[in-house]
Amino acid sequence: MSVAPDDFKKALSCWATGVTIVTARAGDRVHGMTVSAFSEVSLDPPLVLVCVDKTSNTHPLVAEGGVFAVNVLSRDQTALAKRFASKQDEHRRFIGLEYESGKTGAPLLVGTAAALDCSLVDAHEAGDHVIYVGRVEWMRSSEREPLIYHRTAYRVLADVNS
């Protein structure tokens, strides 16, 4: 039984996610990309995972540098999400952008809802993606509301009044 790619994408787009920018560093080279495939994995030790396309520029940099940061975008950071997903000027994403280097050296963006600075502990090949597992070395969180992605659109949270 085969799954048609468009049907698969349509079904997956029903799943609402947050939006992150996964950043990496190897030496003085930094890069990053918009990622929704992020999850917590373990509390003790503190582990998270991200799924990264093998054809992306970010993939080899994570493998080489052995670190990555998960920048959880806030509701007013749609422009950043688009910038780090676009293949136009992809090597200029950090130009003019304010960021600091985390404990691991991975770039931490400003104004995010949260940031998790990770050292790479495991990598699993999974089809056309690699699942990178990171140990959280440092983190910060805020009261900022997150950016949401659902049915290929950026959205914000709403309360349900019961």
Ligand X SMILES: Cc1cc2nc3c(=O)[nH]c(=O)nc-3n(C[C@H](O)[C@H](O)[C@H](O)COP(=O)(O)O)c2cc1C
**Binding site residues, ligand X, CB under 6 A:** 19, 33-37, 51-53, 56-58, 81, 85, 87, 90, 149
Distance set, CA 79 to CA 21, 29, 63, 114, 115 (Å) = 12, 23, 27, 17, 18
In the beta sheet, which residues pair with residue 138? 117
Distance set, CA 87 to CA 68, 83, 93, 141, 147 (Å) = 20, 9, 10, 29, 21
CB of 29: closest distance to ligand X in angstroms? 12
Q: Which is nearer to ligand X, 36 or 71 (CB)?
A: 36
Q: Which is nearer to ligand X, 28 or 44 (CB)?
A: 28
CB of 117: closest distance to ligand X in angstroms? 19
CB of 21: closest distance to ligand X in angstroms? 8
Integer Cα distance of 74 and 84 in angstroms: 14
What string of DSSP letters covers 37-61?
-EEEEETTTTEEEEEEETTSSHHHH
Q: Which is nearer to ligand X, 140 or 150 (CB)?
A: 150
CB of 90: closest distance to ligand X in angstroms? 4
Q: Which is nearer to ligand X, 108 or 130 (CB)?
A: 130
Residue 51 CB: number of other CB atoms within 10 A?
18
